[in-house]
Amino acid sequence: GGAKGGRTRPRGARTIARALGVGARESALSRHPEFASLRGMASDLVEAAARIRALAAPVPQVGVVLGSGLGAFGDSLTGLVKLPYSEIPHMPESSVVGHAGNLCLGTVGEARVACLQGRVHVYEGHALERVTFGVRLLAELGCRAVLLTNAAGGIKAGFSPGDLMLIVDHLNLMGDNPLVGPNEAGAGPRFPDMTRTYDLELAEAARAAARELRVKLQEGVYAGLLGPSYETPAEIRMLRTLGADAVGMSTVPEVLVLRHRGVRVGAMSCITNLGAGLSDALLDHSEVEETAKKTRTTFTALLGKWVEAAAHIASAEQK
Ligand code: HPA
């Protein structure tokens, strides 16, 4: 494979890269020296987890991934212990404005939380294996539920910038999958079921939290695209026809890896703008960040309640 739409990383690249002992993308290799070894993911995770356990912070039950402009929740944790990604062995760092790059450990009420304040994206040139390192680490640390957040463009009629949308399903339109390659021994099945990707109990808990706080919570299907260019108006119309309610450039790879491992997943988008062509506005990352930041108070409160409920759900037996 490999000729697909200008992608430089061919299908099965991980296998080839292993054989060659090098990273799969030359450009990414030069920009990210840690790319040099795609081997030893398991031992990398063990090393990273050991560094975090050495902090003697409470063992997390729930993981949270904070997207563009949504990092404030991490700083709201009680007993906050903050570790920059640069101090976590093998942890990739984001170059995107609005993505801080800290692991935040602490509690919300009784819930013990590990928060990724900032994520890396495929469009930054990271292999999917690296993009998903953070969530693998959350699972390694013991999180049995992970709540993911992102900034997204609204597609569904009636959505407005500033709306929050519970993700109930997704479209993987990235043209790749982080589970491509040899099946990770012991992690999960070769062909993971995706019928109930977004946990029904976590979704119900999000609705309950929104009701309690009187926050309007939209629901919909998230389409994950590669980026980094925003969509054309024609692409937005295509996505609407395909059944997408919101569009973004993240989350889907992380969700696939977590479900493969049997971790419960909840996800929420902050609708920061309308999809291209749905309003007169041109799209701009600084506006995406601005709108996300405006939802900070509401978003942090909602996420707090959701995390508390998720801790209860996570400690129950996985169905
Ligand atoms: N498209 C893709 N990703 C995004 C958007 C968008 O309109 N807004 C925020 N992230």
DSSP 256-292: HHHHHTT-EEEEEEEEEEEPTTSSSPPP-HHHHHHHH
Considering only the C-alpha atoms of the chain, give the largest distance between any 2 of them, rounded to a whole number of Å: 55
Question: Alpha-carbon distance 123 to 116, whole Å?
Answer: 19
Q: Is the CB of 247 under 6 A from ligand 1?
A: yes
Could you tell me whether strands 264-274 and 102-108 are parallel, antiparallel, or unpaired per DSSP bridges?
Answer: unpaired
β-partners of residue 151 are 270
Peptide bond into 228 cis (omega under 30): yes
Give residue-wise pLDDT tens across range 245-268.
Answer: 999 999 999 999 999 999 999 999
17: three-class secondary structure by DSSP:
helix
- What is the Å distance from ligand 1's center to 248 Cα? 5
End-to-end CA distance of the chain: 37
Flag residues of the chain having pLDDT under 70.
1-39, 98-99, 317-319
For 33, which DSSP code?
G
pTM above 0.75, yes or no: yes
Nearest CA to ligand 1 atom 7: 153
Q: How many Cα atoms sit within 13 Å of 80 on the Cβ side?
A: 15
Q: Is the CB of 230 under 6 A from ligand 1?
A: yes
Give the number of the atom of ligand 1 that is nearest the alpha carbon of residue 288: 9
Q: Is the CB of 153 under 6 A from ligand 1?
A: yes
Task: Say which amino acid occupies 296.
Answer: R
Question: Alpha-carbon distance 268 to 112, whole Å?
Answer: 20
Residue 46 phi, psi dihedral angles, 5° rounding: -60, -40
Q: Is the CB of 275 under 6 A from ligand 1?
A: yes
Residue 234 phi, psi dihedral angles, 5° rounding: -65, -40
Give the number of the atom of ligand 1 that is nearest the alpha carbon of residue 153: 7
For 199, which DSSP code?
-
- What pLDDT shows up at residue 93? 86
Give the number of the atom of ligand 1 that is nearest the alpha carbon of residue 276: 7
Nearest CA to ligand 1 atom 2: 248
Q: Is the CB of 272 under 6 A from ligand 1?
A: yes
Q: Which two tokens stand for residue 104?
A: 């935040």
Instruction: Output the DSSP codes for 123-169.
Output: GGT--HHHHTHHHHHHHHTT-SEEEEEEEEEE-STT--TT-EEEEEE
- What pLDDT shows up at residue 70? 86
Question: Alpha-carbon distance 26 to 29, whole Å?
Answer: 5
Give the number of the atom of ligand 1 that is nearest the alpha carbon of residue 248: 3
